[in-house]
Structure 1
Amino acid sequence: MKFILVVRTLATRGQCSTDMDTKKVFSADIQARLNTNASLPCNVTLKLDDVDDAPLEANWASNGSAVASFKNATAQIKDGFVWTTGLFRNGDFSLTVLRVGLSLQGVYECTVRYNSSALHSSMVTLSVIASPSVSVPQQWMALEAESQLKCHADGFYPPPVSFTWTRDDRVIQPTAQLDGDKTPEGFYAATANLTYYPSRGDQNVTFGCKVTHNGTNQEVHFQLNITYSPTVRLSAIPSPSRNSPLTLYCHLESFYPEEVSVSWLQNGTVLQETPGTEQNPDGTFRTTRYMTLSHEQRWRGGEVECAVNQPGVVRPARASAHLEELDPQDEAPVLTKSAKASVAMMCISLVLVFLLCFGFSWRRRDEKQKSLAVSGIILPPRVVVGQKGRVSVSIEGRRVDRVQTAWFLNDTPISDTSLTAPEKGPLLPSSGEMGYYKLHSQGPLHSSGSGVQQLISSLTFIPQIAIHKGAVFKCQVSYAGKDKIVVERASERFTVLSAPEVSEIELAETPNDSEVICMTVRASHFHPDVITFRWFCQGGELSPVASQALSSPRPDSDGFFSASSQCKLPRSELEQGATRVWVSVHHVALKQPVTRETRGFIKQPRVSDISSAASASDQMLTLGCEITDFYPPDVTVTWLKARGGERDDSEDEVMAGGELWGPVEILPQLYRTTATLTTANSREKRQRGGGIKCRVEHLSLHEPIERLWRNIDIVAPSIPSSISVCWSSEGVGVFSLLLKGGHPKAKLLWTAGGTTLAPLESSETEELGDDGQRELRSVCALERSTRAARRRDKRRNGRGLKTKAAVTDPETDGIAYIDEKSDGENDDGKSEDTKSSDGDDGSGGDVDDDDEREEDSGALYINRVNLTRGSEESERTRLRVVVELKHPALKLPVYRSWTEPNEEISTM
């Protein structure tokens, strides 16, 4: 059993007043086996010379409980965890979990402080993934009988798990997802069941159970152990005398496997036997089992039965007969003197009781009149799904007016459901239902003058595969008021037929060769599974393209089969209907084959996006959609109102007012058309969202093509001509851009640098202006990464730059308001704050993603930008800030930029 550990790390933002730079801990996935070690990361970038152990404090906690701590240069840690304090000076505070298990799952928090100031905080979620062990118990299954296969997935975590059954690597049952049951150890176990009717074609075929858990697959392959039931024949070996033992033999033919158990019973009592088997040329076995009856058992008489038990078979095969029929001895026995005296006394007794017997002669005559002649069950010539069928039995006798019959499906009694089950109800009723049955009888009918009467008992039913596949009808005949069954008749097994539903021939280009056209025809909803496709063209028969789906159709959940056949021809022979091609589908349920013929080369339509135009009065709105390059010309266009823009067809409403202009032939057998819809132009309704769909249906399409037009107004916002800038006394620049109006919301990207630009992080807020228009304000803060800037960091006391104060209130202490139009007028006295003598290499934005943020949600994130210097010490690249604005109403993005004035460069 394999177990995988997954660790996800979520970093929070922290800020400290020391000169230590914090580092973001990115999300990580760590996998480990059960009972192995796992490392939970916690890293901070520290400068070795500046760190002292005394003011350094670190803690690990799990689910609110302390796991490890480091304070005053002393470490404490729970059992089962390891912490290497020697790595703290390198900024590595990672914690190692020993022998990971389910009990160690949870949220772990790492916090690092220096001089009581928060330096780093991160959250780590630890969880265990256990892959299941998969097994399929081997068992014996009876041929063509319902059997259950089980696939076990044990010891997995977390749920759910998915099961897929395959036969020769093809799926035979839709994938099922199960949560399973929780075990006492905390893991889960699930079992998937497969109901299957094994056939002779399943022998030596590889089946599989594939289990999918958290993206990993495990599959167990196996073969079915199929049991073939024998035909059983019971006979006796002639014996020279009635007083000698009688030897019986029970002959078994065409069974599998070789292991078989034969039981002998006399009047329900088990007898003993001796086995012996031989193999047939077809791989099955035959055997004859003998049983020698003793003198007492032979004279006991009665019924003798041979029952054959096999693995996987619920109802064993059996044969029975009366000893009086099997015993060939019928010669008169040799009588002794005492026996002769007994016979004489018996003759005298017979004479004395003759008169008594004569009194019962009329009773015996009545019994003779009760004798019945019952025919076998007569089945209909064709049993077709959904069509009424009738089975009947004929009963002849002198007293058939007192006869009653009972019908069974296999061993289940049948009752008349014609009043509650509709004739045209569902083909497959829910579990436990018997379907549609109607019981009726005809007679008694008088035949010849002999006094014999006839009664016909019939059963009308509607065949259904789930109920009648492989079934047997039984009829029990008895007299009214009597429990004894006089005669029982059973029908032969019958085949349920369902004619295939055949599609039109679909034409499509071959993916690797556009000059070859692949023709496909599909047959569905048929039973049994044997079906034949024959392709023809003018001049002869074609050979279909072979595929595994054709040779082995698979049943669906209702028991019906589906199959398809393909044939390929050059495009030149099919275009413009130059070559006539047809396919003939043959099936046992069809009286005549089904034929489908091509209607020329089929071309899928191309559908444009929906365009719109308002009337001069702006009261009506016209929508249009171009449909081009299709054949045949029959095309259907439907306009639908999509509520809220949803794609669910159940919420779409068909709209009236649509027109179709065309189709127009633009090339030989190539058409185009235009679909239009005129509707009221209601701005109030349009602002609530939603949309209108144009749905195109064509013979060449498996699924309709849909185009969606959104009910929204696309309006460009009002964009200022420049970026507003304000600088704080700390040397932090706050850049802002105010957009008014517009719909939908615009997308902005801030960048900064010198010769090259790098993206920055910004903040956007929306509110309603004084004029009633929506206003979108985008703000971005940045500072240059220089030694002077780092010196200013030391003077900071944890103060952050407040967004609203920096942007909306120019009078805020320490902040000067600067506009791009008058940069020269506003940089007096501020050059010292913007000086940079740093010689850092590189250019672009160097974003310290999370560490510069304040815990206060109102603080603005400050981006750090490094600029390169020139050949002389005093030269440095000028700072450029550019914002890119994109909007659906704009064909190209709009840019606004700010460039650092030369005066500020010269003063640095």
Structure 2
Amino acid sequence: MDLGCKVLICVSLAVINYGTAVEIQASPNTVTILPCNVTFPDLIKGTIKESLIQASWVKNNSEIASFGDSVSQINEDFSWDVANFVKGDFSLTIIKDSLGLQGVYECTVIYNSTQLHFDNVTFSIVASPTLNIPQQWVALERESQLKCSVFGYYPPPIYLSWTKNGQDLQPLHQIEGEQTADGYFRADRNLTIWPSSDDQNATFGCKVLHSGVEQQLEFQLNVTFIPKVKLSAVPSASSKYPLTIYCDIESFYPEDVSVSWLQNGTALPEHPTTDQNPDGTYTTRRFYTLSPAQRQQGGEVGCAVDQPGVLQATRASENLEKLDPRDDTPVLTKSAKASVALMVISLVLVFLLCFGFSWRRRDEKKKSLSISGIILPPRVIVGQKGRVTISIEGRRVDRVLTAWFLNDTPIFDTTIAASEKGPLLPSRVEMGYYKLHTQGPLHSTKSGTQQLISALTFIPQISIHKGAVFKCQVSYVGKDKIVEERVSEKFTILSTPDVSEIQLAETPNDPDVISLTVRASHFHPDVITFRWFCQGGELSPVASQASSSPRPNSEGFFSAYSQCKLPRSELEKGSTKVWVSVHHIALKQPVTRETRGFIKRPCVSEIITTMNTDQSVTLGCEITDFYPPNVSVVWLKMREGLQDDREEELVTGGELFGPLQTQPHLYKATATLRRPPSLDKQQREAGIICRVEHCSLPEPIERLCRNVEPAGPYIPPSISVCWSSEGVGVFSLLLKGGHPKAKLVWAAGGATLLPLVSSETEDIGDNGQRELKSVCALERSTGPLRLPEKERRRNGHAIKTKAAVTDPHTEGIQYIDEKVDGENNNITQEEDTKSDLDEDSDNDEQDPGALHINKVSLSYSNPRESERARLRVCVEVSHPALKLPVYRSWTEPNEEMSSSM
């Protein structure tokens, strides 16, 4: 009957549960649980032991997580709860979902050497796309292209189409897209239109269908009305005087246009004014006064109108000789001379009459003041000192006071705590930098009058002075009444752009086309023009932020870029010259940048560490696929190895092998650094940085490697041992210092050795060094020699770890003993087995952290003799800093053998 029960138990444990295949989809950067649930047989419920459980997760024949002999190992990208294993829950948690973790995961559960469960889960990533419409400006009745960019989606394909006012303009089109460096996909869809005036208020949209989910991005189309441009000049009698020319710009939209004046290709500044027409368009007339020298220079003059959404400016030009015909000096006729004489006589009579009426008011005029308007500087540049002045003339200017205002806010001298000497000063107070000047009274050219000049020096700031006006109030000392107030015109604050070099890069979807990009930053106002040229003519840019009114940054400055494209074959010839000229009102001359040749960004690998035979370390970094071949590499050491501390120290001794040409116009190089062995803690923990600089990189590429110098630990010369009264020996070895962590393997036996189960704990000693303590407990016997597998653990002991590991010499070490021999002689074999299982289960519940006791069987050295073999205990210490493993051993003395017989 007992035998039949045992057969039934074996059959029930041999049943394998095959779970249904599960498919799980998740979004990137989320947490996902892969389920694996097991139902244990009823016969073992309540007596499940963790030590008999074996579980594993495998993906593509690669082990992700495993559990056995109460030891758990798991990949850093995953986690599971070992405490739930006895409940049948072996689920695996993906900490952060990513494309690299996709695949089929297999879960296997074994209990007491019998497979109970096998399951598989298919995990995949679904990333929704992001839509962007970069260009929303088009020109009226001109061919224009709208581009819809979709990126960040996975898996492909997607379906794209365009809509207008909710109606489809084209059917959905399937696009696979191209894969980016992060593993996701991107795609573009263009729409070619000829905009009409009806499209001004129309709503266009880009519609995307991905994985059954529809998204749509809608926007209002901005239509630009091309103006009519006509250039004229104000007649002038002589070429010795300035000439005023003006440009009529009619029927354009929107109001914001950029008008630049040109003479022989050189830009000239101007001040804009606009008027709105009844049909909603705008009209403006722009004037520019040529100096006598510019007038004498002659040639062709013209004006160019830039508008958002229009790639080429609208221009009008005329020859200066046609606008300004130079006639000979006119000769007065006799009748004209008579008219002039009569006019002179009339003026003299009028003057005498006015002088007679004003004689009585002579005293009042003595008290009157003549006040000029506020004179602004010709150019107000950000960061450069500017001065506004006002002139006051009269007989009592010594009693005149002036008060200055910015809009309606009084201005005070802020230079008391600052010096005006030297370079320009930053703002000291909220109002900015101001210095007040008063000069006078000075003798005027008029008899009996004096002159007073009041001036204000300031440093322009966009946040303070944009759109502002200066006011000056004039009054007498001791009187509150304001005699006069003058208000300046609004002035435009200028800031010259910082123009980058031309950056060349491959086009992602077409490596045979090279994009050339130039960027301008820190300029004001926002109107800026980029003009591209190549040998033989002017190029048309394919993308320009300058035509779409760039937004200001937090300081009020603007940034813009322009880009054009050329075939790679043209640039690789080396003789093709491309340049761009940047025009801005703050520039006296356009800024020009020329190409420096074909450029390709380098790819930099992570730092690879190699251990040398002399205990030194070689660090290596691969730099590939770059052009031109000029590349520089420096090695730096981070101070004290702190993660957030960017203070660095230059490390010498680095070498660069290369550059070596791999393909036409492609090179590679290898940077190495040899580091000698060191036991210094700070040097071990300091991070090493490989910094790569190349002309294609706006910022250097850096790769960081930490803990690159392994150091061997201190190993005691012998093993410590402590025997309890019950015959259990606790062996221990304490390692101090070293990096990284050493690996220890224990073995024991007589003539031959078998591996043992040990326990290791880490701590920090009083001197700050790492301390690794390894403890192994064993009991000797004279039974047959065998491996300490699971059955050995069932029949073994568990000694309490807290005292044994911390201090193996502690007296009275407590441990969990087996049953006394002969205690259960009168029970059946089945009850004996069940009692052993219950006892082990109770012991585990009483002390989960108990140290395992290994049983070592020692056979007799000669069957005819009663002397057994001597017990030997050995430990192997392995570490990267050691050429060969280090061994420590303990051999049982002869007197102990005698006493134990």
Determine if the TM-score, normalized by the shorter chain, exceeds 0.5: no
Normalized against structure 2, the TM-score is what?
0.43
Does 1 or 2 have the higher relative contact order (CA < 8 Å, sep 6+)? 1
